[in-house]
Amino acid sequence: MNNLNAIKSTLFIPALGLISLVLVFSTDSNLAVFLFINNISQYTGETIWAYITLFGDPFVILCLALILINQFPRVALTIIPAVIIGSLLVFPLKNSINALRPEFVILALEFHTIGNPPSSPAFPSGHTAGIFALATLFILNINKLSFTLLISFLAFIVGSARIVVGAHWPIDICGGIIVGWFSAVIAFYITKNWDMTPAHRYVLISILLVASIALIFRNTGYPQAQLMQWIVVLLGILVTIKHIIAYQYSIIKSD
């Protein structure tokens, strides 16, 4: 599948975000949908959603993508520019729109909060943008309908978790979906002619080590998910050590 057809295969993602955004605005249901989804944790417990929302953290996304460098080298190669592009889009949008998060609009007794959601502007959701960027990159590189449906569903669950934990409105998630897709497509286009040379692989693994170390000290705002955070850190460090040893061995062997 060529690059254009690959991108076309992901168009349902921004379409989903845009249609949902229009529906929420046209029906004035942002608050009602937020309260409905936010109430889910009363039946499932808090911990599972703290774990799920962690997978939208940019450092966790970097670690996950780079840990899978052997299985999905193109995703690992593209995820860094995608995260950078996403950040360059998300933060200016947040500051220019300056939308208030639920905690500043709704009384604390009327909804449920998990962890310590940030107080920065709400729209769009950075966690949702990150996870949908990663999902889009996977879909762009793996042309399988079953995989597309699975990865899209998982990304949607991570985005929905931002509502369950009380950090974002539904419209923030819609905006995050669109931004995530856009950043992934731009990164995919930029890197389409990049080769995964041993040197590139070594650079990526070095970035994985930096991301893993940063994640050790990162306050994600969700202490309930500390165990999962440490698991990702440990995997990142172990994979880094493995690849560095393999790279050094290949240099010695070539000499």
Q: Is the pTM of this model over 0.95?
A: no
pLDDT at 180: 97
> Which three-class secondary structure state does DSSP give residue 1?
coil
- Tens digit of each residue's pLDDT (9 = 90 or more) over 78-128: 999 999 999 999 999 999 999 999 988 888 778 889 988 788 899 999 999
Residues 6+ apart with CB under 8 A from 57: 127, 130, 218, 220
- Tens digit of each residue's pLDDT (9 = 90 or more) over 160-196: 999 999 999 999 999 999 999 999 999 999 988 888 8
End-to-end Cα, the chain, rounded Å: 38
pLDDT at 3: 74
Between 31 and 206, residue with greater pLDDT? 31
Q: Which amino acid is at 148?
A: T
pLDDT at 202: 81
For residues 113 and 110, give the distance between their C-alpha atoms in angstroms, rounded to a whole number: 10
Neighbours of 53 (CB within 10 A): 32
Report the C-alpha dihedral over residues 146, 16, 187, 58, rounded to 10 degrees.
-90
Residue given tokens 């041993």 in the structure block: 198
Handedness of CA 158, 126, 165, 25 (dihedral sign): negative
The full set of domains in the chain, from first to last, is 3-195 (1.20.144)
pLDDT at 253: 58
Neighbours of 214 (CB within 10 A): 15
pLDDT at 98: 92
DSSP secondary structure of 135-201:
HHHHHHH---HHHHHHHHHHHHHHHHHHHHTTS--HHHHHHHHHHHHHHHHHHHHHTTT----HHHH
> Which three-class secondary structure state does DSSP give residue 225?
helix
Neighbours of 118 (CB within 10 A): 13
